[in-house]
Chain A
Amino acid sequence: MSTTARRAPLPAATRRRRPFNARRAGAWALLVLAIAVSVLPFLWVLRTALSTNNALASNATSLLPAEFTLGAFKRVFGLQSPAEAVAEGGSGAAIDFWLYLRNSIIFSSITTAGAVFFSAMAAYAFSRLRWKGRNAVFSLFLGTMLVPPIFTALPNFLLIKNLDLLNTMLGLVLPYVFMTPFAIFFLRQFFLNMSREVEEAAMLDGAKHLRIFFQIVLPNAAAPIATLALLTFIGQWNEYFWPLLVASQDDVRVLQVGLGVFKSQSPQGAPDWSGLMAATLISALPVLILFAAFGKKIVNSIGFSGIK
C-alpha cells in the first residue's frame, strides 16, 4: 500500500514534461466543450427559475430572466400563497417542501446504505469465494438487471400492499434495500481485479472471511464503493415511479413526487416552468453538496486503492 502511494505521482510527473503541447491544447478544448455542454443547460435552468412564469413565453429566447423574481423559489419552499403563485402564472398547488426533503433523505440514505453494503457482501461471495454454483447464481442475479422495471412494478406494488406497507417508509424502501443487481455487478468487477496476494497472505495468518471482508476488501475497495454509493444515492434521489405508486400520501411523499406539482396539471396545459426549474435546482442541491463533500475523498482514495 505504501509503495503504491509513493509510486502513483510518478507517471503524472513524467507526463507533465511531455512536449506535445498541441495535443494537450486539443485535449483541453475537448474538455471545455464537454463542460460547456454539461453546464449551459443549467444556466438556462437558472435563468428560467429566476423568471416570472407568465412572462416566459413572450421572452422565449431572451438569455436573461424574463421579469426577474424569486417567486419560483418561494413557491418551491411553499412560501407563496396560491393567489400570488397564480398571479405569476405558477402552480397554485400546496407543497410541504421540508417534509418531502426529509422523506427523500431518509429514503435515499437507507436504500443506499443497505444496497451498497449487502451488495458488497454478495459481490465478495461472487468474486473472492469459491463455491459450487457460484457463477450460475451470479448469472441469475445478473439476470434481474434484464427484467423490465415496468414488468415488476405492479407485482411489487401488490406485494407491498399485501404486507400492508403501502404509504409507509418501510414499504418504500424494501425493494431497494437488499441489493441492486447493478451494485453487485459493479463491485464484483472491482473485486475481481483486486490482488489476491494480500488476501492470501491474510488467509495464511488464519484470518476469517468476515475479517478479510471488513479489514481488507472493504478498505481496499473504498474508492469504488464510495463511487457506487454516490451514484446509487443520486439514482435513489431521482427515483420517481416507485414512490409515486407506493407513497402517495403526504407524510411519506418524496421530493421528486412532491415537486411534480409544477408539471402540467391539466390536459394540454403548460408546466409552471419557473417553478419546475427552481425545484430542479433545489432538489439537486443536496446531491451536489454530497459530491462537493465526498468527491475529493473519492479522488484521493482512488489513488490509494493500490491494486497491486
Chain B
Amino acid sequence: MKKSLGAVAVAAAMALSLSACSGSSSSEESATGEISYWLWDANQLPAYQQCADDFAQANPDITVKITQRGWDDYWSTLTNGFVGGTAPDVFTNHLGRYGELAENKQLLAIDEAVEKDNIDLSAYNEGLADLWVGQDGKRYGLPKDWDTIGLFYNKAMLSSAGITEDQMKDLTWNPEDGGSYEKVIAHLTVDKNGKRGDEPGFDKNNVDVYGLGLNGGGDSSGQTEWSYLTNTTGWSHTDKNPWGTTYNYDDPKFQESMDWFAGLADKGYMPKLETTVGASMADTFAAGKSAINAHGSWMIGQYTGYKGIEVGIAPTPVGPEGERASMFNGLADSIWAGTEKKDAAIKWVEYLASADCQDVVASQAVVFPALKASSDKAAVAFQAKGVDVTAFTEHVKNKTTFLYPITDNTAKVKGIMEPAMDAVVSGKAPASSLTQANEQVNALFK
C-alpha cells in the first residue's frame, strides 16, 4: 500500500515539476448545484445566511454554502485556494487586493451579465460601482457595502470636560495649529494629577486619558488614522484614483499634516505609537484611556457594544478648504475565474447586489449596503438600535468622500510605507523623511 502511494506521489511530483500549476480553466457552465461563498465578518454572517436561504428558495436548483473565515486568515487561505483549486466560487473582495487578483486573472469579468441583466449601476452610492472596473476596463465585482470614518467619543468624558455634543459636530482642523479639533483634544486629555492638556502644569509624560486614541502608523492609506485630516488640505494619495501610478507622500502639504499629527503624541494628547502595540484601540477606548477615537463605520457594533460606557459619534472635522473628508472604502462580491458554476455564481452575485439581499443586510444594522435605498434603510435600522450614524452617512450625502487608493503593487507599497510611517508617527523621523520612501514607492511603477 505504501509502495503504491509512493508511486503515485512520484508521478504527481513529476507532473508538478513539469507544469508548474495549471489553473483549472475548463468549466461546464450550468446554473445548478452548490456554490460556495466566503466572507470574513462573522457579524454579517446571519444576514448573508438569510440572503442565501431566500436565494435558494427563489432558485430551487442552486444552493449556497457560506464559509466565514476571519480577516487574519482570509487572504492567505484564499490565495491558497486559487492555487489549489479549492477557492470559493464567489467571495467578498477588498479594494486593497482586487487589483492584483484581476491582474493575475483570478477574477471573472462580469460585464456581459451585468449588461444582459440590466443591473442599474446608478442605484449604488456614487463611485462604488466604478471602483470595481479594472485597468483593463472590465468589471470584476458588484458593490455590496461601504464604510467611512467618524469620531467615536466617550460621552461622560465630554460632559465632564464641558464640551457639548453640538460642539463636536462643528470641529475644524488645519495643519498649522490643529484648529478647534486640537483644542478639544487637548482639553479632553487629563494627566495623572487631574490637570487637563490645555492647563498650565500639565504633565505630558504621565497622562491618564488621551484626547485622541491611536491605532497605528497607518501605513500607506492612513484609512482611520490620518487620511480624514490629510485629505482635507487638497492632498490626495495618488495622481489619479483608481489606477494612479504616482504616490504623493513627498508633497509638503501632506508632510506638514503628518508633522502636526505626530506632534500630538509629543504634546501628550495622543498615546505614543510605541504604547499602542498590543490591545486593540477600541478596547483601549472602552477601558477609558482615550476620549475620542477616529475609526471606521464597520466598528460601530464594537464601540456601541461595550458595557459601562456611553458612546457618541461625530463627523470628522472640517479642513482648511472648508470641507470634511473621509476615505470611502467599498467591498464587492467577486467571482473566481476558476469557478465551474459560472452561471450560478453570477446569479448569486447579482442577488447579493440586489435590493432583496441588501435590504436584509440593512435590517441587521451592521454595515451600510451599497445601494442608496438600502443605505437609508440601514441608517433607520441603526437608529432603531439607538445609534445615530449620520456622522458616517453625511460624508456620502455631502460628497465629502475620497476613494480608497487603488493602484498596482498595493502590497509592496504597504510594505515600504508601514515602517516609514511608523518612524514618522513615533517621532523618530520628521515627515520630510517620507520623500525618500515615496521615491522607493514610485520606483515600483517604472
A interface with B by C-beta (< 8 Å): 52, 54-60, 67, 82, 86, 89, 91-94, 154-155, 157-159, 161-163, 166-167, 244-245, 248, 250, 260-261, 263-271
Contact among A91, A94, A245, A265 for B80, CB-based, below 8 A: A245
Nearest CB on A from B39, distance (A): 10
Task: Tell me if B13 and A58 are in contact (CB < 8 A).
Answer: no
Task: Tell me if B85 and A58 are in contact (CB < 8 A).
Answer: no
Q: Which chain A positions have C-beta within 8 A of B296?
A: 268
Task: Tell me if B71 and A244 are in contact (CB < 8 A).
Answer: no
Q: Which chain B positions have C-beta within 8 A of A157?
A: 80, 83-84
Summarize B's interface: helix, strand, loop or mixed. Answer: helix
Task: Tell me if A248 and B81 are in contact (CB < 8 A).
Answer: yes
Task: Tell me if A270 and B84 are in contact (CB < 8 A).
Answer: no
Q: How far is the CA of A92 from the CA of B45 in the complex (A)?
A: 8
The stretch from B120-128, B191-199, B302-310, B398-406 touching chain A is: B302-310
Cβ < 8 Å to A, chain B residues 243-293: 279-288
Q: How far is the CA of A268 from the CA of B295 in the complex (A)?
A: 9
Chain B residue at minimal CB-CB distance from A57: B286
Q: Does B119 contact A (CB under 8 A)?
A: no
Chain B residue at minimal CB-CB distance from A83: B46
Nearest CB on B from A307, distance (A): 33
Q: Does B53 contact A (CB under 8 A)?
A: no
Cβ < 8 Å to A, chain B residues 95-123: none
Task: Tell me if A264 and B83 are in contact (CB < 8 A).
Answer: no
Q: Which chain A positions have C-beta within 8 A of B76?
A: 244
Task: Tell me if B308 and A248 are in contact (CB < 8 A).
Answer: no
Task: Tell me if A163 and B307 are in contact (CB < 8 A).
Answer: no
In addition to A67-B307, A264-B280, 13 A-B residue pairs with Cβ atoms within 8 Å of each other are A57-B285, A157-B83, A157-B84, A158-B84, A244-B73, A244-B77, A248-B86, A260-B72, A265-B40, A265-B41, A265-B68, A267-B71, A268-B281
Chain B residue at minimal CB-CB distance from A160: B84
Task: Tell me if A86 and B80 are in contact (CB < 8 A).
Answer: no
Nearest CB on A from B302, distance (A): 6
27 residue pairs of the A-B complex, CB under 8 angstroms, read A54-B305, A54-B307, A58-B287, A58-B306, A58-B307, A89-B305, A92-B42, A92-B46, A157-B80, A159-B13, A161-B84, A163-B8, A244-B73, A244-B77, A245-B77, A248-B81, A250-B67, A260-B73, A261-B68, A263-B70, A265-B42, A265-B68, A265-B70, A265-B71, A266-B299, A267-B71, A269-B299
Q: How far is the CA of A244 from the CA of B78 in the complex (A)?
A: 11
Q: Which chain A positions have C-beta within 8 A of B282?
A: 57, 268-270
Nearest CB on A from B295, distance (A): 7
Q: How far is the CA of A268 from the CA of B279 in the complex (A)?
A: 10
Q: How far is the CA of A91 from the CA of B45 in the complex (A)?
A: 11
